[in-house]
Amino acid sequence: MSIGFIGGGKMAQALASGFISAGVTKGSKIVSSCAPNDTLSAESFKALGARVTHDNCDVIKNSDVTIMAVKPNIIPIVLKDIKSTVTPKNLLISVAMGVTIKNIEKELPASSRVIRVMPNTPALVRQGASVYAPGVATTPQDWETTEQLFKSVGTVHRVDEYLFDPVTALSGSGPAYIYAVIEAMADGGVRMGLSRDLALQLAAQTVVGAGTMVTTTMTHPASLRDNVTSPAGSTSEGLFTLEESSVRAAFIRAVERATRRCQEVNKGLEKH
């Protein structure tokens, strides 16, 4: 499978590396268009064995699948650039936040095959959480291809496009919330006498382990929490303190407010 990237930033690099590691494609079958002054991204792709160009149309012509991995405000420029080159043989995947399938399709030839994906940054270590929504002209084979690609860097789920804002607020922004949790837990450990390095390692691995317990056992988090909470024990005391501070409610509000912000940003993009 030949894969092209329009945009060569961290997400594009993470996806390309994951695709190669999973055996989905080879470095020699990847081409990326990078900005002329973005030498770091260009070198990163070359290190993967990929070809680098500054011509977006070159990417379209030489790829079965093209992933548009640029900032939302750059998407209209890209679409105008590639419009005359896109054919029905091209599968276009956009990972740009807030740019709807409809807004992409209307700038391209009729029957263009467009899929929208929302990955997150842990794709950098092949532990991403992605969702996708297909455009009207896509086929079941296109859906299968998208799932194959993004499963190579984590998990992937198909959702209705209207859910992309809460998905962005939960899994797109979620890593930042969890980094704050890890930092705070480590600070607590340091306060109680642990070294900074040890506290960070323990906090991070605890998050990894707890998440793996949920996904592996498919047990509700409340049940798993109860399993480690002894009557009148230290865990019970710690959980009570979290409840006193309304920590769970704070996380719920964080996802809600992040969703609202996504909606505001999307409305702004549509006006332009």
Chain segment 100-137, per-residue pLDDT in tens: 999 999 999 999 999 999 999 898 888 999 999 999 99
- Position 264 scores a pLDDT of 86
Given a cut of 70, whether residue 29 has pLDDT beyond it is: yes
Chain segment 55-85, per-residue pLDDT in tens: 999 999 999 999 999 998 899 999 999 999 9
Domains of the chain, earliest start first: 3-160 (3.40.50.720), 172-266 (1.10.3730.10)
- Would you list which residues are annotated within the binding site for NADPH? 56
79-111 burial string, b = 16+ CB within 10 Å, else e?
A: beebeeebeeebbbbbbbbbbbbebbbeebeee
- Position 179 scores a pLDDT of 97
- Would you list which residues are annotated within the binding site for NADP(+)? 6-11, 69-72
- Position 265 scores a pLDDT of 79
pLDDT category of residue 93 using cuts at 50, 70 and 90: very high
Query: What integer is the mean pLDDT of 140-156?
Result: 95
- Would you list which residues are annotated within the binding site? 6-11, 56, 69-72
- Position 100 scores a pLDDT of 92
The full DSSP string for 127-172 is -EEEEEEE-TT--HHHHHHHHHHHHTTEEEEE--GGGHHHHIIIII
- Position 207 scores a pLDDT of 97
The alpha carbon of residue 222 and the mean position of all alpha carbons in its chain are separated, in whole angstroms, by: 27
Chain segment 167-226, per-residue pLDDT in tens: 999 999 999 999 999 999 999 999 999 999 999 999 999 999 999 999 999 999 999 999
What does each C-alpha distance from 185 to 10, 189, 194, 239, 242 come to in angstroms? 28, 6, 11, 13, 12
- Position 269 scores a pLDDT of 66
Cβ 167 vs Cβ 149: under 8 Å: no
